[in-house]
Amino acid sequence: MLRFQHTKNGRKEARKARKKIKTIVGRLVREIARNLDEQRLLQHQTQLDIYQKVLLQKRSDSNKIYGLHESEVKCFTKGKEHKKFEFGSKAALLVTQTTNVIVGALNFSDNIHDSKTLPTVIEQYERLTGNQAKSHFCRQRLPRSKDGKRSHYLHAQTTNKHYQSTTQATLQTHSHRTNHWAFKHDYRLIKNYLKGTFGDTINLMLSAAAMNCKRVMNLWLTGANFCWKRICYIIANIYWIFYAHKLKGTFDG
């Protein structure tokens, strides 16, 4: 009956079915808690607490549980017509502007604003490489950080005086970004088969490493093609300089 909850005559029946399911599940959870001994009750207390929280949570509550097997999953509002919500965890990537190589990747289990993810991933980049980023370019307008640095907003038609220091030519130069669709689908970030928040972090690191390896392989392939073209060009020049006139004279005679 839950299939017809959005119809005119099915809302009442769907409400009854949902209430009946919650009643049955509540009875099962209480019965399991009564029949377990103290040792096993302590062992499975975390799972029982999750089941109890699922039964008591409401639509307007915060920090809800969306998956029994992955209680850390969060709901993100996308605002798109075809996909209004997404479930999972938030990831932040730091990409160089010239080579487009991923130099920072962090997974966030909390549903935080995007402005709070940039300082953390920049701190990871500076800690791993020992270098300090001169300027930051992002797709969203972020506030000034604590050290006074400002992240430039990638939008060519900005009219805010606060962002006039970033010229249009600079924005167009740094306007490229990582293809998120390819990063999700081609490098298997769209679905994680590892458990827990630690598994989410491992999956993100593996996807970023795979994308960097693929980029290095493409650079090697480009360099190899260039070398082969140069070798063929040198061989052709040697032939035309030393052997072409001899062969031409032989055929003429």
Q: What is the pLDDT of residue 110?
A: 82
For residue 192, the model assigns a pLDDT of 84
In this predicted model, which residue has the larger pLDDT, 251 or 140?
140
The mean per-residue pLDDT over the stretch 140-148 comes to 51
Compute the average pLDDT of residues 16-33.
90
Query: How many residues are there in the chain?
Result: 253
- Which pLDDT value is given to residue 156? 35
> Quick check: 139 pLDDT over 70?
no
Query: φ, ψ for residue 85 (rounded to 5)?
Result: -135, 150
Question: Does residue 42 carry a pLDDT above 50?
Answer: yes
Question: Does the pLDDT of residue 113 top 70, yes or no?
Answer: yes
Between 116 and 24, name the one with better pLDDT.
24
Q: Report, in angstroms and rounded to the nearest whole number, the Rg of the chain calculated over CA atoms.
A: 29
Nearest to 215 by CA among 83, 103, 50: 103
Q: Which helix (H) or strand (E) holds 53?
A: helix 45-56
Give the residue extent of every domain in the chain.
Answer: 2-65, 85-214
Per-residue pLDDT tens over the stretch 179-194: 566 777 778 788 888 8
